[in-house]
Chains A and B, each alone.
Chain A
Amino acid sequence: MKLLLKGGRLIDPVTKRDEVVDIQITDGRIDRIAPSISAPQGYKSIDLKGKVVAPGLIDMHVHLREPGYEHKETIETGCASAAEGGFTAVCCMPNTNPAIDDESVARYVREKGKSVCNGLVDVYPIGAATKGRKGEELAPMAELAEAGAVGFSDDGAPIAHAGIMRRALEYSSMYGVPVIQHAEEPELTQAGCMNEGKTATRLGMPGIPPIAEELMVTRDIIMLRYIPRARYHVAHISTQGALDAVRAAKAEGLNITCEVAPHHFALTEEVVTSFDTNTKMNPPLRTREDAAALKAGLKDGTIDVIATDHAPHTIDEKEVEYTQAPFGIVGLETCVGICLTELVAKGVLTLMQLIEKLSTRPRAILSLPPIIIKVGELANLTIIDPDIEWTVDKELLKSKSKNTPFHGMQLKGKAIGIFNHGSSNLT
């Protein structure tokens, strides 16, 4: 592979670089970066005028479903979806079957990731925090970390028992690996299937109160204050209350970070009025006030990361009564478009800040090495067209599942290709 990327706008949060350059790549390695390079013989020149060249994006919250639920997604289709969405890396949540709660499953997921899609997408397992994700006994965290787990979580379910959470924070702190909490007090959520409040009241739907999230985050912050060496990350934060708690904890200097999923700032509970089960996810879509607060949290830096909570389910699983439908939507292929449309175009984030939240920050939280864009380094890049206008079509998704609430939505901007480990899908 001998390529010359011409005239792209390189935006690199690591070096704070933002300039138009040409980049020459030989066999996957960057061997020249300069304002203007004329293509040497045998090099294919790609015109990237008006496009953005960014360090490879990572989605730290993905359900790849393999092993166990290959009818929804496989590591291969999940990686294809990630590559299409502009991600050179994903983290695989441990709610597989068996759960990623021992080293054999963690290694399986990692190795399988290397063998699919020409290795375009790095797959990093998140280990279960407790055995079988049952919330009762600690999973073998040291063994999991050695096998490549970059975080611990029972995602899909909270680490609900205070005693177990305390030990999880203490034990994981030995290895500097963050505990990623799906923050939900189960006593308060019960059979709820959408945000509790105005719309649920109108629809007669059992509610999930915002305080279920806020209460769990607040409890965990109190623990973190007691165990300050631990690292704690709130997955898919969705409420103003929980966000305010994180902001205060950060001001206090605690080791706390958090992520938001695009649907939580792009959509609100009102869309549930359609009873379309693609509006059902956990945490649920919240109010306009919450969505506005999440955008403010992205802007002021309280929210470190944007992650999709990509959760594939088949049409048959989703095409049932709302209360019966499983939680979750796919997100890998719509993320960049939604972020550009909802955040960058509306002045919430600059492109530089967006790329930080999709690449630099999550990598730092997971202790993954930063992506260095300089001569001699392997190219790990995402190319973004910030101006292309397109309409989301679920039938065109590379994911095995089509459960997206964004079908038919018009977006401006998308990822058009990635480079990683000597491969590229840029056409």
Chain B
Amino acid sequence: MKLKSRHLLGLDGVTKEEITLILDTAASFREVLDRPIKKVPPLQGKTVVNLFFESSTRTRISFELAERRLSADVVNFASAGSSTSKGETLKDTARNIEAMKIDMVVIRHSAPGSAQFLTRVLDSNIINAGDGWHEHPTQGLLDMYTLREKFGTLEGLRVCILGDITHSRVARSNIFGLTTMGAHVSICGPSTLIPRDLEHLGVKVYHRLDDVIQEVDAFNVLRIQLERQKSGLFPSLREYHRFFGLTKEKIARAGKPITIMHPGPINRDVELSADLADSEHSVILQQVTNGVAVRMAVLYLLGTTN
């Protein structure tokens, strides 16, 4: 079986079979990461460019490691000090880099649709590493991988995405992927941070943690950004923490263990209490490790089936 598209732009529209293929492929690469020699040859001779127009630590390093472990040649581009800051367009930047004969592009950009935009101007395989608030498909995949590893299946699993949904590409990719895989997805957050008509994506929306805490197996806690408070979307971080921050006490009300995920970076004691982030219920570091394996799987499946 192969993926239908030669790009990974998002999880919206990706089938259950395709997601399963990626997760199964990731499982075999996950095993490679535990070997003393963590390198395999499938992308030998392929050149991958990481085009990062937004700052990123985790995702960029994770992609780069995944590429190198598949033996690809890797070039990194970060927008600070690059041609973009001299006023070059995204199209020109991308086409110039492609003219240097490359095979795959991983793009992170603040504008929704920018990965799809590249598919129209380039011949390379395009992997979306986050486009604005739209999608971050490899994050969605690694979250699903981590949940599947923990629970054995995603079918029927009850997952709550907690926090700022409006501005979150992680939330969207999780919603698309998890609903496709048969999980029950609930959303919890302040009404000013939940976009209109979200129910149309097949999720249930809550505004009180207590209403949802009894009904979930796992939380995916999103980072809350301070600038959202400044633009008037919620009154204060203090209030946010009190009503939407996840703590050990609140989790205890469920009377059963609940798995905690977070895409990082964490604002400790804002959206997630420090003790909970470091507790035995947290799989946050497993997410990071699995991220490399999932990205290897995506790079492998796209890069070897041209």
Contacts and interface: CB of A to CB of B under 8 A. Distances in A.
Contacts of B47: none
A275 interface: yes
B117 A321 contact: yes
A28 interface: no
A162 B132 CA distance: 35
B12 A202 contact: yes
B111 A322 contact: yes
Contact of B169 (A201, A204, A275, A316): A204
B134 A205 contact: yes
Contacts of B112: 203-205, 275, 322-323
B44 to A, nearest CB: 33
Nearest to A200: B195
B91 interface: yes
B197 interface: yes
A204 B90 contact: no
Interface string A341-380: 0000000000000000000000000000000000000000
B200 A321 contact: no
A207 interface: yes
A323 B111 contact: yes
A204 B174 CA distance: 13
Contacts of A198: 196-197, 200
Contacts of B90: 320-321
B88 to A, nearest CB: 11
A207 B198 CA distance: 13
A329 to B, nearest CB: 17
Interface in A272-316: 275, 316
B271 interface: no
Nearest to B114: A321
Contacts of A321: 90, 109, 111, 113-114, 117
B89 A204 contact: no
Contacts of B109: 321
A201 B116 contact: no
Contact of B116 (A209, A275, A320): A275
Interface in B114-149: 114, 116-117, 121, 131-135
A186 interface: no
A205 B116 CA distance: 14
B295 interface: no
A202 B196 contact: no
Contacts of A204: 112, 131-135, 169, 172
A201 B200 contact: yes
A421 B139 CA distance: 65
A264 B132 CA distance: 27
Contact of A205 (B121, B133, B200, B201): B133
A207 B116 CA distance: 19
A319 interface: yes
Given A196-B196, A321-B113, A201 B91 contact: no
A206 B121 CA distance: 24
A207 B196 contact: yes
A324 B200 contact: no
Given A203-B112, A204-B112, A204-B172, A323 B198 contact: no
Given A205-B134, A320-B91, A321-B117, A197 B196 contact: yes
Interface in B162-180: 169, 172
Nearest to B92: A316
Contacts of B201: 201-202
Contacts of A197: 196-197
A320 B121 CA distance: 11
B93 to A, nearest CB: 11
A240 B110 CA distance: 32
Contacts of A202: 12, 172, 200-201
A278 to B, nearest CB: 12
A206 B89 CA distance: 21
A117 B243 CA distance: 67
A323 B132 contact: yes
A201 B197 contact: yes
Given A275-B112, A275-B116, A275-B117, A319 B91 contact: yes
A322 B113 contact: yes
Contacts of B198: 201
Given A320-B91, A321-B90, A323-B132, A201 B196 contact: yes
Contacts of A201: 195-198, 200-201
A169 B111 CA distance: 40
Contacts of B195: 200-201, 207
Interface string B181-225: 000000000000001111011000000000000000000000000
Interface string B72-99: 0000000000000000011100000000
Contacts of B135: 204
A181 B196 CA distance: 27
Nearest to A316: B89
Contact of A275 (B12, B110, B113, B121): B113
A319 B117 CA distance: 9
A189 to B, nearest CB: 14
Contacts of A206: 133
A201 B114 CA distance: 17
Contacts of B197: 197-198, 201
B5 to A, nearest CB: 15
Interface string A178-211: 0000000000000000001110111111110100
Interface in A66-81: none
Contacts of A324: 111
Find the residue from A198, A200, A204 having the highest chain B CB count within 10 A.
Answer: A204
A205 to B, nearest CB: 5
A213 to B, nearest CB: 16
Contacts of A209: 196
A204 B200 CA distance: 14
Given A321-B90, A324-B111, 14 more contacts: A197-B197, A198-B196, A198-B197, A198-B200, A204-B112, A204-B131, A205-B113, A205-B134, A207-B195, A275-B116, A319-B91, A319-B121, A322-B114, A322-B117
Interface of A: 196-198, 200-207, 209, 275, 316, 319-324
16 contacts: A197-B197, A198-B200, A200-B195, A201-B196, A201-B197, A201-B198, A201-B200, A202-B172, A202-B200, A204-B131, A205-B134, A275-B112, A321-B109, A321-B111, A322-B114, A323-B111
Instruction: Kindly list the 8 A-B residue pairs having the minimum CB-CB distance in the complex, ordered from nearest.
Output: A275-B113, A204-B133, A321-B111, A204-B134, A201-B195, A198-B197, A323-B111, A322-B113
